[in-house]
Chains A and B, each alone.
Chain A
């Protein structure tokens, strides 16, 4: 299989002729680690929207410059691993059958542009998938299937493409809210060991799963407040706790987590969001000292002090973000709204976000990934 970035990598090496850098490389020159080791000068943003995936380069001043648009069916979630972009299509039917799909794209490290690799169907009845995470070893993706009430595991092949579904976990459960007539896995995240933490908006349940041989099995279940509708999850960088945003009662909860065994130890705290309900999203600062949330029409910042979550005065009103994203360099918090991408600078000292600035106009952005 041809590596999509071969040509550009060669050009890059010739350009930089980085003799002093070469001895420090852990992999051959064609390895992708090389690229990241050099602090690649340009970053790229991938925005999933109703009409497809929009690719941007992010300039030094954090403005977005449009590079490419790839057609993709309702790319509701995406994740990047090893210069591959994985996308979940939040659709309800594919090839006449009730199921969503997942896609793989190669990322050209030089230009940031995408090359379509493949699209594979999820399991039968796995409709309206919503969440996606890549395993730490890059060998599989796990999909949270909101509509079909299930989790799917898809292996990642050596060339970065996706294999057929190898693991299916069908969930049952419900809650008292009218939107909770059945299980609705919404979001998931991997811990560093390779376990999956998933939240189920329909059954008010948090779950921990293991992956073995690309099959998935539950090892811990934890009920949360009835009718709360957990929708989003972030794991603290130290992995001793995680935070869950609940959509149906506009709250955030923190839970103590034991990463050595994959156990949800305790519910630590639940705080009410200052305003509204609706879509609930979370993002966490890489320091682990600040949490950002959106509920309804506002974005809020929280200080994490030990096991206590304290609402900061910093907030942005009258935006309706669908997703939040903190860059790895911790300089920016991005929020997707109905018609744009907003950027908030994160203060290096206080870790609180500034007032938002529109960096891109886009109709109904759904998902974001930045490399």
Chain B
């Protein structure tokens, strides 16, 4: 029996909020009911009741959506899946079932402890699996193993037919194969309500990883040094990083705004066999930055007694089980704005100059101390071209994925942060490498591969071609699936597949 939380319930004020404190934007956008569903049957019953009443359902598993996709639902019902979080094995541990409300942290822990396997998913422990997997989620071991969607073999999903009747489907490559493929990369809230995922096989959990961080204080930064950091990082993943023996290396530039005081380049590494007996690859990568003189090379978790130096570079050996921990679900405390880019080549001089310009810029009344550009390494197993036909995640030639992030707490700073971010992003993609018709966007082509739907950005709908940025050549296919499985467009949000 689902628990229905209405505005007269003391829990409503907290549970209605999104993790991003910007949503819902005002009271007129609030839902009228939050349904905490305890089982798939509960979920089906609630969904049927919502649809029959002419309400709009929106769905939350972890609640990490960057935009207002589930929180903006005037007088509708928010179906909360967080109570359905079981991670289990089916038939002789040969396949695994993960309920949509499980967080990545819980999933990693249980998959490791119970079955010694892992899901190559994202880096934020409290992200819900429901949206993450269907958006083609990736993380620290994805260069080694591919994306979460690549490993998916089945989806239990509630759809609403033309007559408004809710139906449970277990789709796979053999059953409702088009819907299954669409669920492998299209993102959440498009075709139905995902209840659980099945993975016939999952990769073994690495035994251990090596982690290293290099700190570059802004006080010691010059534009030339900044450019060399980005060039070294991008150059590596455009060349040496393509070799399979490097796929266990996941690098990140945390290009914090100058106001935060420092930038960081970090790396997590294990060899393809899941061990760190040999660290040559990581040493090679760290050596690229030696000449740039990071002020400190510190391991993850300052003060950790296990911090050690192995060979020429400082790095820390961490058992796999300690790399993930279930996170809480704090809602509404931090406001944020995000943008994304998939890059096929290393940074151009123009891009680096523009990044430097905005990351050192100040604006009256805007605190940039929690503003950053995160540059993730990409590629490796995620770029296996054979997955193009099996999934709708078309970004299979990228070497880096960029996430522009800015955080603040005071609503009075909303406009300052969002407009700055808008200008920043637009200018980065207005160089001579971007054709006239797609200025301001990383339109798929020689240099870019569009944007990542899991880091959704409603601003991009200002461009009529926004579906091409997120879905490349697959949008027509996704629209066909939409019309077939959700003919009344019951499931929709600002960036959902248009019928």
Residue ranges of A at the interface with B (Cβ–Cβ < 8 Å): 96-98, 123-125, 148-150, 164-174, 181-183, 215, 217-218
Q: Are A171 and B493 in contact (CB under 8 A)?
A: no
Residues of B near A123 (CB, < 8 A) are: 74
Nearest B residue to A168, CB-CB: B74
Q: Are A96 and B488 in contact (CB under 8 A)?
A: no
Q: Are B461 and A97 in contact (CB under 8 A)?
A: yes
Complex formed: what's the CA distance from A106 to B207 in Å?
A: 72
Residues of A near B494 (CB, < 8 A) are: 97, 124
Nearest A residue to B76, CB-CB: A168
Q: Are B162 and A170 in contact (CB under 8 A)?
A: no
Complex formed: what's the CA distance from A313 to B252 in Å?
A: 81
Q: Beyond the given A166-B28, A172-B490, A173-B488, could you list 12 further A-B residue pairs with CB under 8 A, ordered by the A residue number?
A: A96-B461, A124-B492, A124-B493, A124-B494, A125-B492, A148-B489, A170-B55, A170-B56, A171-B54, A172-B160, A174-B487, A182-B489
Residues of A near B499 (CB, < 8 A) are: 182
Q: Report the 6 A-B pairs with minimum CB-CB distance, sorted nearest first.
A: A172-B164, A174-B162, A96-B461, A169-B54, A172-B488, A125-B492
- B331 located at the interface, meaning its Cβ lies under 8 Å from any Cβ of chain A in the complex: no
Residues of A near B75 (CB, < 8 A) are: 167-168, 215
CB distance from A174 to the nearest CB of B (A): 4
CB distance from A327 to the nearest CB of B (A): 36
Residues of A near B55 (CB, < 8 A) are: 168, 170
Q: Specify which of B28, B51, B55, B74 lies most central, judged by the most chain A CB atoms within 10 Å of its CB.
A: B74
- Counting residue pairs across A and B whose Cβ atoms lie within 8 Å, the total is 68
Which listed residue (B51, B72, B74, B498) contacts A172, Cβ 8 A? B51
Residues of B near A170 (CB, < 8 A) are: 51, 54-56, 488, 490
- B302 located at the interface, meaning its Cβ lies under 8 Å from any Cβ of chain A in the complex: no
Q: Are B162 and A181 in contact (CB under 8 A)?
A: yes
A–B complex contacts, Cβ < 8 Å, 11 sampled: A96-B458, A96-B461, A97-B494, A124-B72, A124-B493, A150-B54, A170-B490, A172-B51, A172-B164, A174-B162, A218-B54
Nearest B residue to A169, CB-CB: B54
Residues of A near B72 (CB, < 8 A) are: 124
Known contacts being A96-B462, A124-B494, A182-B162, is A165 close to B489, with CB within 8 Å?
A: no
Q: Are B162 and A165 in contact (CB under 8 A)?
A: no
Residues of A near B490 (CB, < 8 A) are: 170, 172
Q: Are B164 and A173 in contact (CB under 8 A)?
A: yes
Q: Specify which of A124, A150, A218 lies most central, judged by the most chain B CB atoms within 10 Å of its CB.
A: A124
Residues of A near B76 (CB, < 8 A) are: 168
Give the interface SS of chain A, mostly helix, strand, loop or mixed: loop
- B219 located at the interface, meaning its Cβ lies under 8 Å from any Cβ of chain A in the complex: no
Give the interface SS of chain B, mostly helix, strand, loop or mixed: loop
Complex formed: what's the CA distance from A114 to B492 in Å?
A: 36
Complex formed: what's the CA distance from A215 to B54 in Å?
A: 12
Complex formed: what's the CA distance from A171 to B488 in Å?
A: 8
Complex formed: what's the CA distance from A108 to B492 in Å?
A: 41
Residues of B near A150 (CB, < 8 A) are: 54
Q: Are B54 and A181 in contact (CB under 8 A)?
A: no
Known contacts being A168-B75, A170-B56, is A98 close to B498, with CB within 8 Å?
A: yes
- B10 located at the interface, meaning its Cβ lies under 8 Å from any Cβ of chain A in the complex: no
Chain B contacts with A in 40-74, Cβ cutoff 8 A? 51, 54-56, 72, 74
Residues of B near A165 (CB, < 8 A) are: 74
Nearest B residue to A165, CB-CB: B74
- B353 located at the interface, meaning its Cβ lies under 8 Å from any Cβ of chain A in the complex: no
Nearest A residue to B68, CB-CB: A124
Complex formed: what's the CA distance from A150 to B51 in Å?
A: 12
Residues of A near B28 (CB, < 8 A) are: 164, 166
- B163 located at the interface, meaning its Cβ lies under 8 Å from any Cβ of chain A in the complex: yes
- B483 located at the interface, meaning its Cβ lies under 8 Å from any Cβ of chain A in the complex: yes
Nearest A residue to B462, CB-CB: A96
Residues of A near B164 (CB, < 8 A) are: 172-173
Complex formed: what's the CA distance from A123 to B492 in Å?
A: 11
Nearest A residue to B72, CB-CB: A124
Residues of B near A169 (CB, < 8 A) are: 54
Complex formed: what's the CA distance from A169 to B50 in Å?
A: 11
Complex formed: what's the CA distance from A183 to B54 in Å?
A: 12
Residues of B near A217 (CB, < 8 A) are: 54
Question: Can you list, as one digit per residue, whether each of B434-468 has a CB less than 8 Å from chain A (1) or not (0)?
Answer: 00000000000000000000000011011000100
Residues of A near B498 (CB, < 8 A) are: 98
Complex formed: what's the CA distance from A302 to B490 in Å?
A: 40
Question: Can you list, as one digit per residue, whether each of B6-26 has a CB less than 8 Å from chain A (1) or not (0)?
Answer: 000000000000000000000
CB distance from B337 to the nearest CB of A (A): 16
Complex formed: what's the CA distance from A165 to B498 in Å?
A: 21
Residues of A near B459 (CB, < 8 A) are: 96
Complex formed: what's the CA distance from A168 to B459 in Å?
A: 24
Q: Are B56 and A149 in contact (CB under 8 A)?
A: no
Q: Are B488 and A149 in contact (CB under 8 A)?
A: yes
CB distance from B486 to the nearest CB of A (A): 9
CB distance from A66 to the nearest CB of B (A): 34
Question: Can you list, as one digit per residue, whether each of B66-97 has a CB less than 8 Å from chain A (1) or not (0)?
Answer: 00000010111000000000000000000000
Complex formed: what's the CA distance from A164 to B28 in Å?
A: 8
Question: Can you list, as one digit per residue, whether each of B161-189 has a CB less than 8 Å from chain A (1) or not (0)?
Answer: 01110000000000000000000000000
Known contacts being A172-B163, A181-B162, is A125 close to B54, with CB within 8 Å?
A: no
CB distance from B387 to the nearest CB of A (A): 30
Complex formed: what's the CA distance from A301 to B157 in Å?
A: 52
Known contacts being A168-B74, A170-B54, A172-B51, is A125 close to B487, with CB within 8 Å?
A: no
Residues of A near B466 (CB, < 8 A) are: 96
Which listed residue (A124, A173, A215) contacts B162, Cβ 8 A? A173
Residues of A near B461 (CB, < 8 A) are: 96-97
CB distance from A201 to the nearest CB of B (A): 14
Residues of B near A173 (CB, < 8 A) are: 162-164, 488
Q: Are A182 and B462 in contact (CB under 8 A)?
A: no
CB distance from A256 to the nearest CB of B (A): 25
Q: Are B74 and A181 in contact (CB under 8 A)?
A: no
Complex formed: what's the CA distance from A217 to B53 in Å?
A: 8
Known contacts being A124-B72, A165-B74, A174-B163, is A183 close to B493, with CB within 8 Å?
A: no
Residues of A near B54 (CB, < 8 A) are: 150, 168-171, 217-218
Q: Are A181 and B492 in contact (CB under 8 A)?
A: no
Complex formed: what's the CA distance from A125 to B43 in Å?
A: 23
CB distance from B52 to the nearest CB of A (A): 8
Residues of A near B163 (CB, < 8 A) are: 172-174
Complex formed: what's the CA distance from A168 to B55 in Å?
A: 7
Q: Are B462 and A183 in contact (CB under 8 A)?
A: no
Q: Are A181 and B483 in contact (CB under 8 A)?
A: yes
Residues of A near B488 (CB, < 8 A) are: 149, 170-174, 182-183
Nearest B residue to A163, CB-CB: B28
Complex formed: what's the CA distance from A97 to B462 in Å?
A: 8
Residues of B near A182 (CB, < 8 A) are: 162, 487-489, 499
Nearest B residue to A180, CB-CB: B162
Complex formed: what's the CA distance from A167 to B458 in Å?
A: 24
CB distance from A234 to the nearest CB of B (A): 24
Chain B contacts with A in 465-499, Cβ cutoff 8 A? 466, 483, 487-490, 492-494, 498-499
Question: Can you list, as one digit per residue, whether each of B128-165 has a CB less than 8 Å from chain A (1) or not (0)?
Answer: 00000000000000000000000000000000101110
Which listed residue (B458, B462, B489, B493) contacts A149, Cβ 8 A? B489
